[in-house]
Structures are given as structure tokens and as C-alpha cells.
Amino acid sequence: DAGVIQSPRHEVTEMGQEVTLRCKPISGHNSLFWYRQTMMRGLELLIYFNNNVPIDDSGMPEDRFSAKMPNASFSTLKIQPSEPRDSAVYFCASSLLDSGEQFFGPGTRLTVL
């Protein structure tokens, strides 16, 4: 298995632009998580999907952030409009069960100028 796949690996954009991050979870996993990692706040859970349905989006910082999971093999995290404080590494993770080991993708390093 290729593991969790994320794209792009790096994204540099200007303030106000729309940013879309993509994730392909491990085949057969029914739980998908989006995290954000910064030096100041560490790793934060943004949103959790189970069987493609958003279960917990309480970690989504603002209405500028949205996430979708149209099918079991694809999810997007969109920021519109982006701001410099959104600069961080965004990770997608998937798991077979809703509790237990999570498998992380390589992350997308986002820089908003």
C-alpha cells in the first residue's frame, strides 16, 4: 500500500488566494482526519470524517476553512481566503477504526505571504 497520499507537498501563495489541499487515505480505512501543525500550537485536529461523513469539525478555526470527502478515497481541505496566520504544515491521517492507530501522510507545508 502506498500509504496516505497528500498533495501538494509544498504550497506558497499570497494572502487572499484560495488554497486546496488534497488527501487520499489508505484503501479500506473508514476514518479520515485533518490536522494542522505549528510551532506555537503543536498538532491540532481540524476535522474528522467517518465513512465520508463529517463527524467533528469543532477544530476548524474559521468559516474560511472547509473540508469535503466526496468518496472514500478522496478528501479536500480548502482555505478561502488564505491569511498569513494559516501558514503551517497540514496533515491528513486515516485509520481503520475510529479509535486506535492513525496513519499519517507526509503533510503539505503551506506558506501564505
Partner 1 sequence: SQQGEEDPQALSIQEGENATMNCSYKTSINNLQWYRQNSGRGLVHLILIRSNEREKHSGRLRVTLDTSKKSSSLLITASRAADTASYFCATQNSGGSNYKLTFGKGTLLTVNP
> Which spans of this chain sit near partner 1 (rule: CB under 8 A)?
4, 31, 33, 42-43, 45, 48, 50, 55-56, 91, 93, 98-107
Minimum Å gap between C-beta 98 and partner 1 is 4
Cβ proximity to partner 1, 49 vs 65, nearer residue: 49
Specify the residue, 41 or 62, whose C-beta has the smaller distance to partner 1: 41
Tell me the closest approach of the beta carbon of residue 93 to partner 1, in angstroms. 8
70 or 100, CB closer to partner 1? Answer: 100
Closer residue to partner 1, CB minimum distance, 37 or 81: 37
Beta strands in 10-113 (DSSP E): 10-13, 19-24, 31-38, 42-50, 53-56, 65-71, 74-79, 88-95, 103-104, 108-112
Contact status, residue 108 vs residue 7, Cβ threshold 8 Å: yes
Q: Regarding beta strands 19-24 and 31-38, do their DSSP bridges make them parallel or antiparallel, or are they unpaired?
A: unpaired
Q: How far apart are CA 19 and CA 13, in angstroms?
A: 8
At its nearest, how many Å lie between partner 1 and the CB of residue 24? 14
Rounded least distance, CB 4 to partner 1, Å: 8
